[in-house]
Structure 1
Amino acid sequence: MVEQVFKLSRNDEMAVEKVIFDENVHYLHMVFNKDQGLPEHFSNSNVYMTVLRGKLSIALDEQEIHEYEAGTLLKIPFQTKMNVRNLHDETMELIVVKAPAPKN
């Protein structure tokens, strides 16, 4: 078999899965319920964030919180301050791709 196969969790429990974490790309699958999210941090690469379900509430740098529905893809530049949250009742699911892969 030439391809590698990866499986993502398929439930509503909070998850931050490092699906692919190699020298080329970091591919993460994230699931957050209401009032869950990531600690505030600075992006360590270019970040491509796809909302698969629910609604993403995100504050970037000094901006107010913006909200994005399922089917939305965000491109976030390197070294951007990020505050990623789910502020809604519906479970939020994201795919996050970091490219190029962070060096540290």
Structure 2
Amino acid sequence: MVEQIFKLARGNEKAVEKVIFDENLHYLHMVFNKGEGLPEHFSNSNVYMTVVRGKLSIGLDDQNNHEYEAGSLLKIPFQTKMNVKNLHDETLELIVVKAPAPTK
């Protein structure tokens, strides 16, 4: 078999899965319920964030929070301060790709 197969968590339980973490890219799958999210941090690569379901509330650098619905794809530059949260009742599901893969 040539291809590799990866399975993503299904359901509504909180998850931060490092699906692919190699020298080319990092591919993460995240699920957050209301009030959950990531600690505030700076992006360590170019970040491509797809909202699969729910509504993302995100503050970037010194901007106020913006909200993005399912079907939105955000391109976030390297070294951007990020505050990722789910402030809504519906479960938030994200796919995050970091490319190129962070070196540190």
Scaled by the length of structure 2, what TM-score is found? 1.00
- Mapped to 1, the partners of 2:9 and 2:27 lie a distance apart of 14
User: Superposition RMSD on alpha carbons, in Å?
Assistant: 0.2
Identity of aligned residues (%): 83
Structure 2: any 5+ residue segments left out of the alignment?
none
Superposition misfits of 4+ residues, deviation over 2 angstroms:
none
Aligned pairs (5 A) from 1:77-96: 77-96=77-96
Deviations 1:14-69 (A, max 9, x none): 00000000000000000000000000000000000000000000000000000000
Matching residue of 2:67: 67
Paired residues, number? 104
Question: 1:12 aligned to 2:22?
Answer: no
Scaled by the length of structure 1, what TM-score is found? 1.00
Structure 1: any 5+ residue segments left out of the alignment?
none
